[in-house]
Structure 1
Amino acid sequence: MKRKDFTTYFKEQLQDGEKAGRVTTSTHGIYTVADDETERFGEVSGRFHYHTVEDSGFPAVGDWVVIEPYDEGRRVKIQRVLNRNTVFSRSAPGQSNKEQVIAANVDVVFVVTALTQEMNPRRLERYIEQVYESGARPVIVCTKKDLSTSLHKQLFQIEQAAPGVPVYPVNSLHGEGLELLKHELTPGQTVSLVGSSGVGKSTLMNALLEKEVQETQAVREEDDRGRHTTTHRELFSLPDGSYMMDTPGMRELQLWGNGEGNLDYTFSDIGALSAGCRFRDCRHEEEPGCAVQAAIQSGEMEVSRLKSYNKLKRERRRLELKDKYGTHRTNRMLHGPNAVKE
């Protein structure tokens, strides 16, 4: 793997004599690390393991790491992870307040949705919010264009859910729309695919790579739900010199981070309307002169979008409190007899 994307940001973190490579796969503590010369299996060193407390501190696909070859150069020990430029994370499934890193050092995230009954604008808002939080740039890819029975309506719903985000409808099996999508690929940059199971991420990956590297399966006819074809994260080199990472389908995406300011990007339409509200601290509920409620009444905005905005805002607030006070105290603050308003 050529180091076209090994920028000054990472080079400056290396000490004299250190060698670096990039993690291309990660499975149960075994990693594949690629450098200018070759690609080798490896694992973290004992020192690394001893000093790393959080799971999010271990290498993730896309990470640049300091490596030390051993076994006559056939394997490597990972000594440390270089500071990440961007990181796409979610709250780990379950009740724990732990970060699960999905992809590291990604420039662009293709949020993939199928133009079938699977399409859910509210889920897209959640993905877009987390992409902005990661520091990457979001792009929406709408697969299975040939199966859509209301293409223009669906694209309109998607554009309303993600103002300003590029949207590309494609048919990966026949290549329709892929040439336009390729304009989002830049040599040296890394793209990650995220989305639910069955939306066609693996088929899209194969089409862009121009070869079969990912197994694909049909969705279940009775509910249009997909099977987990991709079971691990892996980084591939594309013909144009960019890199692409496929990820397993996610049943849920619990937000991570407390960057409430990113809601201003995800819900820029609500922010623009809010400037016309009579009161600067308008909650967009029953206040007189609320421009957001006026837009809902006129049909300019769906009430479900405002509900989604408020829901994500509450989640961000909970994450902020958990980070500051811990899970148990936060629960008492939000649900106890003296609960604070979010």
Structure 2
Amino acid sequence: MPLPASSKVPDRSTALASPLVPYGWDDGWQDAFRPWAARGLVPGRVIRVDRGQCDVVTPDGTVRADTAFVVPRDPMKVICTGDWAALDPEGGSPRYVRDHLPRRTALVRSGSSKRSDAQVLAANIDRAVIAVSLAAELDLARIERFTALAWESGAEPLVVLTKADLVPDPATLGHLLSDVGRTVPGVTVLAVSSADGTGLERLAALAGSGTTVLLGQSGAGKSTLANTLIGREAMEVRAVRDMDGKGRHTTTTRNLLTLPGGGVLIDTPGLRGVGLWDAGTGVDRVFAEIEEYARRCRFQDCAHHSEPGCAVLAAVDGGELPARRLESYRKLQRENQRIVAKTDARLRQEIRREWRIRGAEARAAADAKRGRLR
């Protein structure tokens, strides 16, 4: 199907007059779109994707479009919520998305399969709100994992402790905030409640510009939070199970919605698993204090296991660094290393070599211990 030809390229001055501005359109996107505009294509932002089709906001309203022309082998290029798309002008039936503009940021996790596939959860986001319910015991390791994912995306993470009304004691709530703050250094941590309004004004101010994505497990209160920020019942909400406090999936697709005070919000389905995808930089940022200690280690390639002169192990022994933090750091580093190794043969060889060396060291230590016991 030939594309309509057009030599008309929108003038730069028209960018901020576009109906797409509330969805994040700016002069930068206007300039980036010029090659597609020259082909007669229309810009739009993807607000929902479902089974090979997507809803796209265009200058002429919201349209349903087919993504059949954008089915690449590279899963990183699959159309997702938040993308800026180039689609056919009015008149075609079906109407196709032909391409998407290069992403400024992308929230990526490893796919649920055992293959080395990536899954883009949301594109062109400015901040990632990690919703954590206070109705259940805090899982600090999971918060670290979500935050690493957010940092790696290029967005700014923000941890929101939901259902704060369930912790009426200010001292207890303060301790919980401090615990999470130490877990994600450099990240803003808020306690909010959709029931009594705690913290919502500040959260709305932070989300009042750019694109915000909501992340978290089922039952974390994401859909309730989304409805509160949007000011209407845009997302279905279900009660959590009484027996274990876990929620049921109510959001089944990623939806992009405008906020009354400005900015847009992407609500996502509850994530049971959050596998890292080449998130080394994100992990380093979450564990910034470990990286700082590591600079003082005797050896530059110190693995922080049993090496002499390891400043990280010394910090653990001295009570400066919680052992839980180091174990969580090791776990995420190993996981990230494995996913990168799936696509890097040289790194796979290096990892196997390191495993062999550590195995030999462990066996030698065990032999020496047995010799001392005789």
Q: TM above 0.5, one fold?
A: yes
> Structure 1 residue 10: deviation in Å?
2.8
Larger deviation: 285-294 or 83-92? 285-294
Residue 189 of structure 2 is matched in structure 1 by 167
Q: Identify which of 120, 125, 130 aligns with 1:106.
A: 125
> Structure 1 residue 186: deviation in Å?
3.8
**Closer/same/farther in 2, CA of residues 223 and 299 from structure 1, 3 Å limit:** farther
Q: Distance in 1 between matches of 2:190 and 2:358?
A: 40
Q: Distance in 1 between matches of 2:144 and 2:254?
A: 23
Give the superposed CA RMSD. Answer: 2.5
Q: Does the aligned pair in 2 maintain the 1:173–1:203 contact within 8 Å?
A: no
Q: Does the aligned pair in 2 maintain the 1:173–1:207 contact within 8 Å?
A: no
Q: What SS is found at the alignment partner of 1:284?
A: coil
Q: What SS is found at the alignment partner of 1:308?
A: helix
Residue 212 of structure 2 is matched in structure 1 by 191
Q: Does the aligned pair in 2 maintain the 1:25–1:61 contact within 8 Å?
A: yes
Unaligned 5+ segments in structure 1 are none
Q: Does the aligned pair in 1 maintain the 2:208–2:259 contact within 8 Å?
A: no
Q: What SS is found at the alignment partner of 2:335?
A: helix
**Closer/same/farther in 2, CA of residues 225 and 192 from structure 1, 3 Å limit:** same
Task: Say yes or no: does 1:39 pair with 2:62.
Answer: yes
**Closer/same/farther in 2, CA of residues 190 and 147 from structure 1, 3 Å limit:** same
Q: Identify which of 318, 325, 328 aligns with 1:305.
A: 325
Q: Distance in 2 between matches of 1:244 and 1:337?
A: 44
Q: What SS is found at the alignment partner of 1:206?
A: helix
Residue 66 of structure 1 is matched in structure 2 by 86
Could you say which structure has the higher helix fraction? 2
**Closer/same/farther in 2, CA of residues 118 and 214 from structure 1, 3 Å limit:** farther
Q: Does the aligned pair in 1 maintain the 2:277–2:340 contact within 8 Å?
A: no
TM-score normalised over the length of structure 2: 0.82
State the structure with more CA Rg. 2
> Structure 1 residue 154: deviation in Å?
1.9
Residue 263 of structure 1 is matched in structure 2 by 283
> Structure 1 residue 325: deviation in Å?
2.7
Residue 292 of structure 1 is matched in structure 2 by 312
Q: Where do residues 150-161 of structure 1 align in structure 2 (5 Å cutoff)?
A: 150-161=172-183
Letter in 2 for 1:91: S
Q: Identify which of 178, 202, 225 aligns with 2:223.
A: 202
Q: Does the aligned pair in 2 maintain the 1:296–1:303 contact within 8 Å?
A: yes
Residue 269 of structure 2 is matched in structure 1 by 248
Q: Identify which of 74, 78, 81 aligns with 1:54.
A: 74
> Structure 1 residue 142: deviation in Å?
0.6
Q: Distance in 1 between matches of 2:288 and 2:199?
A: 27
Task: Say yes or no: does 1:2 pair with 2:20.
Answer: yes
Task: Say yes or no: does 1:29 pair with 2:47.
Answer: no
Letter in 2 for 1:23: V
> Structure 1 residue 13: deviation in Å?
3.0
Q: Does the aligned pair in 2 maintain the 1:143–1:200 contact within 8 Å?
A: yes
Q: Distance in 1 between matches of 2:315 and 2:357?
A: 29
Q: What SS is found at the alignment partner of 1:23?
A: strand
Deviation by residue 1:268-313 (Cα, 9 ceiling, x = unmatched) = 1112222343444333233444333333234333211101111111
Q: Identify which of 85, 97, 117 aligns with 2:116.
A: 97
Task: Say yes or no: does 1:177 pair with 2:199.
Answer: yes
Runs of 4+ in 1 over 6 A off after TM superposition: 335-338
> Structure 1 residue 33: deviation in Å?
0.4
Letter in 1 for 2:120: V
Calculate percent identity across the aligned residue pairs.
Answer: 35
**Closer/same/farther in 2, CA of residues 77 and 145 from structure 1, 3 Å limit:** same
